[in-house]
Amino acid sequence: MSLQKKQKGALGERIAGRFLFWRGFHIIERNWRCKSGEIDLIVRRGREYRFIEVKYRTTMEFGFPEEAVTVDKLRHIRCAMETYLLQLKTLPKHYQIDVIAILKNSQNKPKIHWVQGVS
């Protein structure tokens, strides 16, 4: 992966992290990896966990950012989520996979679309 792509991904994750923080979530993990896949952000609010896939785009050349989350990608996230949950001493009361799609507009201000409960 190119340095520029990594930097854009990190920027998107920072934006998503701030967005979630202002909604009462605390970041537990960033870029959590296992054999099954990677989860961009794992956040918690009380006994609720969210496993977040972040998609950040600066143009609409390839469509909306959330359209890049394929069935295969969701399967990998789901497997990684299950692996993460098995490591916890107590299962959370609620958990789900969300997508945060960020599109930078012409004023350089990000437009955020939060797709909750995609799996």
Model pLDDT for residues 91-118, shown as the tens digit of each residue? 999 999 999 999 987 677 899 999 999 9
Q: What is the pLDDT of residues 18-68, one digit of tens each?
A: 999 999 999 999 999 999 899 999 999 999 999 999 999 988 888 899 999
Note the pLDDT of residue 116: 96
- Residue 5 confidence (pLDDT): 75
**Long-range Cβ contact pairs of 37-44 (< 8 A, separation 24 or more):** 37/76, 37/77, 37/79, 37/80, 38/76, 38/80, 39/77, 39/80, 39/81, 39/84, 40/9, 40/13, 40/16, 41/13, 41/16, 41/17, 42/84, 43/17, 44/92
Judge whether 51 and 96 are in contact, CB under 8 Å.
yes
54 beta partners: 100
pLDDT confidence of residue 3: 65
Q: Provide the pLDDT for residue 1.
A: 63
